[in-house]
Amino acid sequence: MNVQTRDRRDLRQLVEADRVHRKVYTDPAIFELEMEQIFNRVWTYVGHESQVKKPGDYWTVQIGRQPMIMMRHSDGQVHVLYNRCPHRGVMLYGDQCGNAGKAIICSYHAWQFDTNGKAKAIPLEGGYDGTRISIDHPDCQIKHAADVASYRGFVFARLRSGGPSLLEWLGEAKVAFDDMCNRSPEGEVEVVPNCFRVIQNSNWKIFLENQLDALHPSVTHESTGRAGFEVEERLKKQKGAAPLYYHYVSAFVTPFGKWDQTQTVNYPKGHSLLQAYMGLRPQDPDTKAYEAIMHRRYGIERTNQILADRIHHVLLYPGLSVQPPLQQLRAVRPLGVDKTLTEIWHFRLKGAPEAIYRRALAYYNLVNSPSTMINADDLWNFWKAHQGLASEGGDWVSFHRNAGQDEEKDGVISSRNGTSEAPMRNQFRAWTQYMAAEA
């Protein structure tokens, strides 16, 4: 029996319907299996097509443990290539982004490749006469990701072929991108070409569990939310109203009972959705000007349908957290059993007024930025969670809240309470399926 078969058998003893063993967060061998069974095989978010607008534009990214390049070719197609020269294995790009011009040129021996990965020039090619090396040989081409697909401009790739198509994998959770793009008068978004990058000293699953945990905000973020609430209320008394961005912070002191009145919807493959819990449609001049543009594009009825969608958060398991009404997403890149990179991206609604962009940018900076107290609160808890799980203070992690009380139909689990731990149970249902799958 090989190691992976033995480990997959052992995993069945670590995950139960309403609790999991701490080893799934702390065991390096389990993390290695996750890299192979999940992150090498499941669709991973690479980037947005607007990051590579012109032929030759590229962005570097990590899928699982593999350094990759997202690049636009001269025919307009977006490719996802391994960031490795097939000659001596040197990374082709060590920087984050740029434009290759008409060719990718290795900085070591000047092998040249077209922007679709096809070899186009080898220096002193005659030196390879009589060998297998030639411009047309498969070994001389830059290797591609096994599968690449995009939905509404969001590019995904996977390193092993097989399994569901991107649309099949997204399922109903594609609403994350529909809701975001539909809010644009042009039906499209474009990336704001920089992002926050945060290293979390904790296992990647801890971050994902936190994203739809509706019980923690009023506890973890109470002090920050309370300060925002007090200033917001003072401004209302003094001026009759407060800027919307105070509401972004004060919403974190929403009482437990209000959080419990929201709902999560949990889809197959670990995806989940959290209903909106704060109003984002004030009737101020900026909103009215935006809605007037939307009316001209979609009509009043359709505009109201789009802007009335009650979605705050969509989690695409195992690596993406999307907040559609605020045009933000966080991509999860596991680096080690106790180290995780999150990339926090922000998008513009094409055709929307500048004020609407600034409104979403305020949330990006006030809540999702690594410099905010909101993010700092979470990072502190993530680290403490991992340290606690690595201790011998207990073996099991509880996901019992509202267990057995949620409604399931056709594989979709709808929570009766917003604070139900149904999203966590749903994530581990998918985790178990991915980890048990045979090669």
Task: For the chain, give the mean pLDDT.
Answer: 93
- pLDDT by residue (tens digit) across 233-254? 999 999 998 888 888 889 888 8
Tens of pLDDT, residue by residue over 201-210, are 999 999 999 9
Percentage of the chain modeled with pLDDT above 70 = 97
Q: Which domains does the chain have, with CATH numbers?
A: 44-151 (2.102.10.10), 172-436 (3.90.380.10)
Contacting residues for 171 by C-beta, under 8 A, at least 6 apart: 267, 268, 269, 271
Query: DSSP labels for 199-262?
Result: EESS-HHHHHHHHT-TTSHHHHTHHHHHHHHHHHHHHHHHHS---HHHHHHHGGG--HHHHHTS
pLDDT at 3 over 60: no
CA distance 53 to 193: 11
Whether 45 has a pLDDT exceeding 60, the answer reads yes
Q: With 80 as the cut, is the pLDDT of residue 280 above it? A: no
Answer yes or no: is pLDDT of 391 > 80: yes
Residue 439: band (very low, low, confident or very high) from pLDDT cuts 50, 70, 90: very low
130 Cβ neighbours under 8 A, 6+ residues apart: none
pLDDT digits (tens, 9 = 90+) for 52-67: 999 999 999 999 999 9
Q: pTM for the full model?
A: 0.93
